[in-house]
């Protein structure tokens, strides 16, 4: 993306290939992972709204569901 954004001081983008070669791959993966988590957070917003709506009307069902979502992965990975 930084290759495409124009720079005010120089011709071309904000970053050239020589500068990009010096960036460790782990930093690039971390940066991309942050974007992926942010995108997933937007998708999880729907689930949060659903849980709040469920808890408003059926508190016992919501609490049971949250407990099951917490306990089942622990049980599944330990056996």
Supply angle C-alpha 34, 19, 37, rounded to 5.
Answer: 5
> How much is the average pLDDT of 42-58?
76
Q: Would residue 41 count as lying in a domain? A: yes
Rounded to whole angstroms, the Cα distance separating 19 from 30 reads 18
> How much is the average pLDDT of 31-59?
77
pLDDT of residue 65: 84
Name the residue with tokens 């659903």: 50
Q: Would residue 4 count as lying in a domain? A: no
Q: Would residue 42 count as lying in a domain? A: yes
Q: Would residue 8 count as lying in a domain? A: no
Please give the share of the chain, as a percent, with pLDDT higher than 90. Answer: 1
Domains identified in the chain, total number: 1
Q: Would residue 6 count as lying in a domain? A: no
Q: Domain containing 22: what range?
A: 17-78
> What pTM value is reported for the model?
0.37
Q: Would residue 12 count as lying in a domain? A: no
Judged by average pLDDT, the poorest of 26-35, 44-53, 70-79 is 44-53
CA gyration radius, the chain? 22
Q: Would residue 2 count as lying in a domain? A: no
């Amino acid at each position: 993306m930084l290759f495409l954004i124009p720079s005010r001081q120089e011709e071309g983008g904000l970053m050239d290939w020589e500068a990009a070669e010096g960036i460790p791959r782990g930093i690039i993966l971390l940066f991309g992972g942050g974007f992926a988590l942010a995108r997933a957070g937007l998708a999880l917003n729907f689930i949060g709204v659903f849980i709040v709506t469920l808890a408003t009307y059926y508190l016992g069902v919501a609490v049971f569901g949250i407990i099951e979502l917490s306990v089942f992965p622990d049980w599944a990975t330990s056996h």
